[in-house]
Amino acid sequence: MPLVSTAELVSAARAAGHGVAAFNIITLEHAEAVAAGAEQAGAPAILQVSENAVRFHEGRLGPLAAAAAAVAADCRVPLALHLDHVTSVALLHRAPAAGFSSAMFDASARSDEENVAATAEAVRWGREHGLWIEAELGRVGGKDGEPPVDAHTPGVRTDPDEAAAFTAATGVDALAVAVGSSHAMTERTAALDHELIARLRRAVPVPLVLHGSSGVPDEEIRRAVAAGMVKINVGTALNTAYTAAVRTYLGDHPTVVDPRRYLRPAREAVSRTVADFLRVVGAAR
């Protein structure tokens, strides 16, 4: 079926009391695996393309977005397309024409005043161009090119009062919050602050987003969704499954040079990971 909007999937998940998983894709095989995993689970999903992925593709946004849209058109469950962790205003402005219905505009590394001003302008522009805007408040560590951030460091986690003020000042459609997870974790050992999630849900009128979910154990994710998280972002877990499958295949077949031979098990490993996360967030039928 054709791409649906991120706003539609997030709103439906929030109304139903479960989560919706958003998966970062880098290659066509990632997109195909997300679609296959979503079909296995019988659940909708969000395809995410990060600014880093665009940089990997030499700044070309269109080809991967077009491939994702084509994959979605052949998928039996709804898929949406989201531009993730955008710091470049120029890239944000390219999103609607490339088929994206939403974007996460990330000014969290700036000062509080600059974050509010830049995010409010992104929201204003997004409304004019039909783009649903997510932002971040607090510091979810582990982003590419940044030093690690201890999730327990004072001032790192999102303050509910500040989140309420930020949401009111910017008009964002969703808010990514720092509650104990971190990007790029390859082991699922993160412990979330569920009491903080509940306080944020009470303070903030828009859906909450959990970044760095690859490092969060299943039961922690389930509790986070029950406490108020809606959009659950997953990236590193897909790449971990993908790379492990490639390593295993090439280790067993060292003379193989046809990439189709090792990309097939990689794609299958990612699809299983996708289906597992969709079941954990409660979206599977």
Full 3-state SS string of 125-178: HHHHCCCEEEEEECCCCCCCCCCCCCCCCCCCCCCHHHHHHHHHHHCCCEEEEC
Q: How far apart are CA 44 and CA 34, in angstroms?
A: 10
- Selecting among 84, 106, 159, 276, the annotated active-site residue is 84
Is residue 84 part of the annotated active site? The answer reads yes
Q: How far apart are CA 233 and CA 158, in angstroms?
A: 17
The phi, psi pair for 253, rounded to 5°, reads -135, 70
Tell how far CA 192 is from the center of its chain: 17
How distant, in Å, are the alpha carbons of 3, 86, 232 from that of 280?
Answer: 23, 27, 10
Residue type, 59: G
Residue 3: CA count within 13 A, CB half-sphere: 23
Residue with tokens 């389930």: 222
Residues tagged active-site: 84
